[in-house]
Structure 1
Amino acid sequence: MTMDSSGSSWFQEDPAPSRQEQVVQRICARVAGSGVHVASLPLGGVQVWLDSPRHRWRFYHRMARELRLAGWHTETGPDRLLLLGWSAVCLSHRARMLRAALTGRLADFDRTAFTAVMIATRLRHEGFPAGDLPGEVEARCGDALRWPARLADLDGLERGSSLEPLRLRLAQVAGLEAKVARRCGEHLALASKVARTVAGGAAPARSHAGDPGDSGSSTAGLTERMVGVSVPNVALSAGTAR
């Protein structure tokens, strides 16, 4: 046990990281980049520390914010971050944020369509390969939505608790996450469709019932107008027609 060391685990590390350690590592690496170390604590929980002392305090607080948003209680020390289990307060906050996303940014398909058109048009003018355009636009729109990455961070983690109130909150969060995941999928499908339109140079057909944005937003009509002013009016060859 090495309590005075700021560059290693306080306890002997297990040879194989647990699923929780892997998830925490993924979240913290997304925030702080490389040089993130994670190890379990003997009575449960996880410790996190960084290789470099540069901006360490700022990164610890950013990592703690993302971990709290996932539902964990955290404590920030001078040389490392401690994750100490599920928190009813943090899980309630995650539920609020998920509901806010569903009624806020994820309800705005027009914004996603506009963002996709702008990104696709800029990349096309820069000579980005047309075949790779939909995937790149979808990835960048996913980054802008933020929730696809946050949900992916928790992939494979079995979340449970011996306490009934925490189990109920975890179940509530899981239900909201499923709704957010479906809505994100609709946004990314729209972004990919817009990118294919820009790559091909033709205006998209109006969406059918059940497509993203049908519920009163007239997304397809807006997308047609944006593509119409963004995409050069050129004849398509047989090889690029959609």
Structure 2
Amino acid sequence: MTMDPRGGSWFCEDPVSTGQEQVVQRICTRVAGDGVNVAALPLGGLQVWLDNPRHRWRFHHRMARELRLAGWHTETGPDRLLLLGWSAVCLSHRARMLGAALTGRLADYDKTAFTAVMIATRLLHEGFPAEELPAEVESRCADALRWPTRLDDLDGLERRSSLEPMRLRLAQVAGLEAKVARRCGEHLALASKVARTVAGGAGPDRTRTTGRRPSALGAGLTERMVCVSVPNMADSTAGATVTAR
């Protein structure tokens, strides 16, 4: 375990955690499209490179931005992107962004209802099938909210650290993500209901859960309590884990 004196960020030399490669692959593919390669580094962390060299610099920086928003420290090289472990600075920024979403856009249900009405009305005028309208409106509202996709990207990720301060940061983020996922689910349920109303009751009731899956929607302080209860072991392999479900 080493520390970056510039930003107080900790970089884990532990082996890549369960699901991390798949999560990074999903995030980078969403940003850069197909042709993304992810592999583990010998001393911990991951390297990401693209098959197509065109616009490499632009995609590297876009991928780095999304990975930093998830809480990782990244370094951009000439031909690849390096992911070097959890960053206290990036995790704090993620917590601020999640908190801002809860008090900002995700607190405005009227905007979601208005957006759903506008989308549904326009689609109906364009001849979109009424029975498919609720699902389509919900999908477009999810894209507008942005957080449902970002939370889905982290499905299955095991987040761990042997350091208590980092465990607390990870647990804080996990708790905020669960709140954001629940709030997103409420917004999308509203969007689906509005679309059914516009369509004259056509379409099935909403059954899709967006963001974290039902097992995580009931999570509140559980992640934090589990995290704090695990002793801070000197052995890096004994670090506590927080899993995104």
Q: RMSD of the TM alignment (CA)? A: 1.4
Separation in 2, partners of 1:43, 1:183: 39
Q: Deviations over 1:20-62 (max 9, x none)?
A: 1100000001111111111111111111111111111011000
Q: Deviations over 1:209-231 (max 9, x none)?
A: xxxxxxxxxxxxxxxxxxxxxxx
**SS across alignment from 1:155:** coil
Determine if contact 2:18/2:157 at 8 Å carries over to the other structure: no
Where is the strand percentage greater, Structure 1 or Structure 2? 2
Instruction: State the shift of 1:137 in Å.
Output: 0.5
Please name the residue that 1:61 is paired with: 61
Please name the residue that 2:158 is paired with: 158
Please name the residue that 2:179 is paired with: 179
Determine if contact 2:92/2:169 at 8 Å carries over to the other structure: yes
Query: Which residue type is aligned with residue 200 of structure 2?
Result: G
Query: Which residue type is aligned with residue 185 of structure 1?
Result: G
Fraction of identical pairs, as percent:
88
Please name the residue that 1:85 is paired with: 85
Query: Which residue type is aligned with residue 66 of structure 1?
Result: E
Q: How many residues align?
A: 186
**SS across alignment from 1:171:** helix
Determine if contact 2:72/2:90 at 8 Å carries over to the other structure: yes
**SS across alignment from 1:128:** coil
Counterparts in 2 of 1:201 and 1:131: CA distance versus 1, 3 Å:
closer
Instruction: State the shift of 1:163 in Å.
Output: 1.1
Unaligned runs of 5+ residues in structure 2 are: 1-16, 203-245
Separation in 1, partners of 2:145, 2:59: 22
Equivalent residues in 2 for 1:11-50, closer than 5 Å = 19-50=19-50
**SS across alignment from 1:170:** helix
Q: Deviations over 1:121-153 (max 9, x none)?
A: 111111111111101100110000000011111
Equivalent residues in 2 for 1:92-111, closer than 5 Å = 92-111=92-111
Please name the residue that 1:132 is paired with: 132
**Structure showing greater Rg:** 1
Unaligned runs of 5+ residues in structure 1 are: 1-16, 203-242
Separation in 2, partners of 1:27, 1:201: 36
Separation in 1, partners of 2:164, 2:153: 25
Separation in 2, partners of 1:160, 1:18: 10
Please name the residue that 1:118 is paired with: 118
| Structure ranking higher on relative contact order (CA contacts 8 Å, 6+ apart) | 2
Normalised TM-score (structure 1): 0.75
Q: Deviations over 1:41-87 (max 9, x none)?
A: 11111111111111110110000000000000000011010000100
**SS across alignment from 1:159:** strand
**SS across alignment from 2:158:** coil
Query: Which residue type is aligned with residue 189 of structure 2?
Result: A
